[in-house]
Structure 1
Amino acid sequence: MEPISIYLAKLIGLAWLIIGIALVTRPQSF
């Protein structure tokens, strides 16, 4: 069982990855 901090770091990293892909693929959405 891994620490909460590591889990949160992975979750935040994944969220930023999704946001980055969204910004690249849909530059006109914002």
Structure 2
Amino acid sequence: MSRRDDRRSGQVAQGRRSAPPRRGWPKASP
């Protein structure tokens, strides 16, 4: 259960952190 938590927590943390910045960059650039 430790490995599943790490993989789920890592993917959710990176996906949520990578989503907001990527959408904000293109909108703030132009």
Bigger relative contact order, structure 1 or 2, given CA contacts below 8 A and separation 6+?
1
Larger helix proportion of the pair: 2
How high is the TM-score relative to the length of structure 1? 0.58
Q: Can you give the 5+ residue segments of structure 2 that lack an aligned partner in the other structure?
A: none
Measured on the aligned residues, the alpha-carbon RMSD in Å equals 2.0
Between the aligned residues of both structures, percent identity stands at 7
Q: Can you give the 5+ residue segments of structure 1 that lack an aligned partner in the other structure?
A: none
Task: Give the aligned length.
Answer: 28
